Structures are given as C-alpha cells and as structure tokens.
Structure 1
Amino acid sequence: MIFVLKLNNKKFKLLNYYVNFFTNLSPTNNFIIMLLTNNNNQYKLLIVMFCFITCCTKSILYSQILPQEKIKYKTISQIPTISNYNRIICDSNSFGFYLRNLELKISNNIVYLYNNTPKYNQNAQYAIIKIDVGNKDLQQCADAVMRLKGEYLFSLKKFKDIHFCFLSDGKPRYYTDYCNGNFSYNKFKDYMNYIFSFANTASLKKELKHINNVEDIEIGDVFIQTGNPYGHAIIIVDVAINKNKEKIFMLAQSYMPAQEIHILKNPNNNNLSPWYSADFEEILETPEWTFTKNDLYRFP
C-alpha cells in the first residue's frame, strides 16, 4: 500500500502521529510513506520511509525498544522533585491531590495499546499510570484528560458534576441522565466510552478556560491544541515551586492509537525529567507533540 501525504508546514507536527499509526498496524502490511511539504508553492520531498513489518521483524523491533527497568515509585507523589523545589500544597479533596496520588504501574514500564500490543514508541514514557485503557480505540489524548476528570468526580460521588460536551452540537451529556440510577463503576466506564465516541480535543477545548500566564500553572491544567484532522491534549499531574516562585510541572498523556496513560519524559533536559520548567520560552516540546504558551487551559 502506498500513502502520499501532503503536509504543509503547520501540519508537519502530525509526523509523529502518522509514524505511530502506521507502525502499530498489522505486521503483515507493507507501507511506503511519502511526506511532502509545501514551500513557496513547490512541493519538496522530505522523507521517504519504507516500513516492511512482519511478525518476526516486529518482534525484533519491540525487543530492542522495550524498556527493561521497572519503575520503583508506586504513586506520582513518590517521584522526587529536583533540588530546592517543593510540591505545592493541595486540598485533600481537590483534583490536584487526586492526580498527584494516582497509582503507577510497577509490574513493567511498557505502554500497551487498547489491543494489548506494545506501542511502537517506548521512549516517551517515564512511568505509566495504573488505569485501564479499555479494549477499543477510544481513550486517546483528550479522552484520557476527560477520563481522569471523570474518575476524580466519581471517586467523590459528585455524579451530577460529571458531564462532557459532544462535538456535534456542543451540548453536555450528563452521567446522571445516562446511568438512569445505576451508579456502578461499570456503568461509569460505559458512559466514558460513550463520551469518547462523540467528543475530542475541539469539544473539550471549548469547555475549558484559557490561562494567560504559564506561571499560574496548576495541577489539572491542560495543554491543548485542536487541528485538522488531529489535535492533542496533555494534562499537568503535579507542580512544584521554589523560594523564588519558579515552578516545575509534570505531564501525562494518552495518544493515538488509544494507549495507557503515561507520565512523559522531558526530551530536552534529562536532569530535570520527568519535570518541565514553567519558564520555557514560547515552545513546549514534549516527546510526541509541540505546544506553545498560548495552549494552556483549565477546567472551570
């Protein structure tokens, strides 16, 4: 099969998506991916990539890239901060406290897709949050953000506060209407899959309020971009601060295809990783997406 993708400069960030998508498809397919960019109305060939993937070669690839070291921390709160930084104080009933105390998977440090196969790129995660991804290709990036918010509200039995908007009409769908008196956890998960099927980064972004200053970043905030055809969203799961009021933060994401939610490494600073400095210039570079300062939003 041959795919020719014409990507203008603004859409070049989708390269990571297409590479992940194709390399996670059936191991018996052959692909030639030609990525072109429009520069002064003249198409220039950027990359020609040939991926011949068989069951055998895919197994070899995975054996080479799967991390061998298990994470030793049981919760996000146990991941150390860097010198001279202390975690900000959170109320025990807050969304921030919930996120900071999420359990981490300690059996292995491999990110699995919804179909129980390893994600091709195993270099993005620092640790993996212990929460299921489901068995359908639904819980992707914005979905993971909504899942964590929904799980938090469900844990406090704030059932009336669980609602997310559909992309089609921008109207909220309430958990209480969906469950019809059945407040079981299984029914909650059914509701979240229902939301994932009809919501995305565009609908989620409209529900959030913009944060003008990155220095005001809080746990639970979201870096989010919409796009055509795809956007991305990642959530802040911890924040620390020093005596000079300088902040660092930790990020988590799911991605495409649907995969386990994981804490992101800092690709530009191994000494700081998995933390990121809030004092970045205009660009926030994460392992699989690039955001700007203008992409920070918060749940109302």
Structure 2
Amino acid sequence: MKFFSLIFNQYQITNCRLIVWIVLFSIFFVFQNLFAESIQERFPPPNEFKRETYVNNSFAAYLQNFPLKPKGSVVSLYNGKLKTNQVHVAVLDFPLLKVDLIQCADAIIKLRAEYFYSLKQYNKIHFKISNGMNVKFSRFIKGERVQVNGNQTHWKKGKFTQGKGRDVFEEYLKFIYIYAGTISLKSELKKKSIGELKPGDIWIEAGSPGHAVLVVDKVTGKGGQTLFLLAQSYMPSQEMHILKSESKYSPWFEVPKDETFPTPEWEFPTKEIYEFTN
C-alpha cells in the first residue's frame, strides 16, 4: 500500500507541475500578445522623415497599428513548414488556416474584413467572388449560405448557423478564400494616382497566378519625398509579412519612377495601384 501511495503522490506532484507550466505558458502568451509591437512601433521613420497620421478607426490607422510577431520570427507556410524565400523583416500576427487557402489576395481580404469586424460594421463586409457575385457577410449572419454549382451561384436558406459570432465570420471568410482571388479583388477596387498613396492601397496584377501587395505604412520627408512599407502573403498559403526593399531606406520603399515596380517576389506595372471603394 505504501508503494502505491508513493506512486499516487508522485503522480499528483507531476500533474501539479504540468498545470503550473500550462498556466505560466498561457500567461506568457496573453502578455506577449497584449504588448506585441505594432508596425509603426517596430519601424520608426528614417531620419528627416515623419510618419503620416490618419483618422482613428480608419483602415490606414488600423494597418499602422497592426500587431507583429516577435522580432526574428520566420515566415511559416500553412502546413508548418518554413517559407523557402525569406524576404521579410517582420511577420504580421494573424493565424493561417491549416489548408492552402490564404494567399496574397486572400490575406488582404482578411485584413479588410477583420478591420470592419473589429468595428462591428458588419454590413461593410462583402467581397466579390470569381463569377462576379457580391457575397455579403450580413446574409451569413441571417443564416443564409451560397450554393455553388460550377460557375453558377445562388443564396440558399437552411438550418445554418446564424449570428455575428466568430464561428460564422470564419465560415464566411473561408468561403471567400475558396472562391475569390486577384481577379475578383481587382474588380472591386478603383485605380488611383500614385501621388495619393496611403496605407490600404494595393499594387495588384490580376491573373492565374497574379499577385497583390498591400501598403501598410507611409512616411514623408521635408522635400515631399514619400516612403512606404509593403506587406504580402504569397503562394502557397503563408503568413503575411513586411517585405525588405532594395532602397537605401530599407525596409521602406521609395515611390517607383520607372514603368515597373520590382518587389522581392513580383514585378508590378507601376501604374497598377488601386484602393478599396468602400
């Protein structure tokens, strides 16, 4: 009996230690996220430049204040493997799905949707899919879903989960990731002048494959010179990251003056810069 009592006591001690470690890890994880650096905190303006400020609750301000993973973080793929071409200086802190869905356009869509979701502006969460259908989150909230049959789609009512909860929101986003891409995203953007560049603008080349990168911060110099930071996801699905540049101000990019704008993994036509319409 004494032998079994010793084993039981040892088992209790081991379990207690395990619980303590779990609690400590959870506290560390919570505090790490509470005090995570934002984009603007991690990247101060270069000398003689000043960061542009934007209205509170604007998409531009949301991006500037988006949290980053700890310094030195590598970019991981959806399957846990590391991205082969590590061309980043920082990694944005939002989770991937464990399937190859959140690529370049999808990551931008996710940020835009998360922005409106954080403000509880649910009616503004809507994106086009590849056949041109405008899919509204507000209809998912009501319990409707989209039925897909080849290139034909229509709304369907049924015993689907209703509400504004995270589960419905994630289901909505997953549907968008599957059926949207650079072509559908570009169709709901409007072209703009590069002289009016701001966080939230997108360089996008639509195609299969195509690519898109997102402006996430901007600074200006005394002479009017503009610098900006770019973020991207890529193929296969991978964490969104802040790109390095070849500028002397790296990771800040200078406004391109040539007809093409090279980024680490894609070269865009300089004029192909767009913004959201809503």
TM score, norm. by length of structure 2:
0.77
CA distance in 1, matches of 2:221, 2:71: 33
Other structure's SS at 1:173 match: strand
- Corresponding residue number in structure 1 for 2:167: 186
Which string of whole-angstrom CA distances, capped at 9 and with x for unpartnered residues, describes residues 15-48 of structure 1? Answer: xxxxxxxxxxxxxxxxxxxxxxxxxxxxxxxxxx
Query: Gaps spanning 5+ residues in structure 2: where?
Result: 1-35, 143-161
Structure 1 residue 107 displacement after superposition: 6.5
Contact 2:102–2:238 (CA under 8 A) maintained in structure 1: yes
Which string of whole-angstrom CA distances, capped at 9 and with x for unpartnered residues, describes residues 83-131 of structure 1? Answer: 1111112111100000000000007411011111111112x11100000
- Corresponding residue number in structure 2 for 1:234: 213
- State which of 123, 143, 147 in structure 1 corresponds to 2:106: 143
Structure 1 residue 280 displacement after superposition: 3.0
- Single out whichever of 130-139 and 107-116 deviates more from structure 2: 107-116
- Corresponding residue number in structure 2 for 1:276: 253
CA distance in 2, matches of 1:261, 1:102: 12
CA distance in 1, matches of 2:141, 2:233: 26
CA distance in 2, matches of 1:200, 1:137: 13
CA distance in 2, matches of 1:112, 1:186: 24
Matched residue pairs, number? 223
Structure 1 consecutive aligned stretches of length 4 or more whose deviation exceeds 6 Å: none
Other structure's SS at 1:126 match: strand
Other structure's SS at 1:104 match: coil
5 Å matches for 1:144-163? 144-163=107-126
- Corresponding residue number in structure 2 for 1:68: none
Q: Tell me which structure has the larger Cα radius of gyration.
A: 2
CA distance in 2, matches of 1:280, 1:102: 29
Which string of whole-angstrom CA distances, capped at 9 and with x for unpartnered residues, describes residues 137-181 of structure 1? Answer: 00000001100000100000000000000112x121001111324
Other structure's SS at 1:121 match: coil
- State which of 172, 183, 186 in structure 2 corresponds to 1:205: 186
State the AA in 1 paired with 2:261: L
- State which of 247, 260, 267 in structure 2 corresponds to 1:290: 267
Structure 1 residue 261 displacement after superposition: 0.4
- Corresponding residue number in structure 2 for 1:119: 83
1:175 equivalent in alignment to 2:156: no
Greater RCO (CA < 8 Å, at least 6 residues apart): 2
1:102 equivalent in alignment to 2:66: yes
Contact 2:127–2:136 (CA under 8 A) maintained in structure 1: yes
Contact 1:247–1:279 (CA under 8 A) maintained in structure 2: no
- Corresponding residue number in structure 1 for 2:243: 264
Contact 2:232–2:241 (CA under 8 A) maintained in structure 1: yes
State the identity as a percent: 37
- Corresponding residue number in structure 2 for 1:19: none
CA distance in 2, matches of 1:77, 1:111: 20
1:83 equivalent in alignment to 2:37: no
Change in 2 beyond 3 A, CA 1:172/1:261: same
Contact 2:72–2:90 (CA under 8 A) maintained in structure 1: no
- State which of 201, 220, 231 in structure 2 corresponds to 1:252: 231
Contact 2:51–2:218 (CA under 8 A) maintained in structure 1: yes
Structure 1 residue 136 displacement after superposition: 1.0
State the AA in 1 paired with 2:80: N
State the AA in 2 paired with 1:252: A
Change in 2 beyond 3 A, CA 1:84/1:107: closer
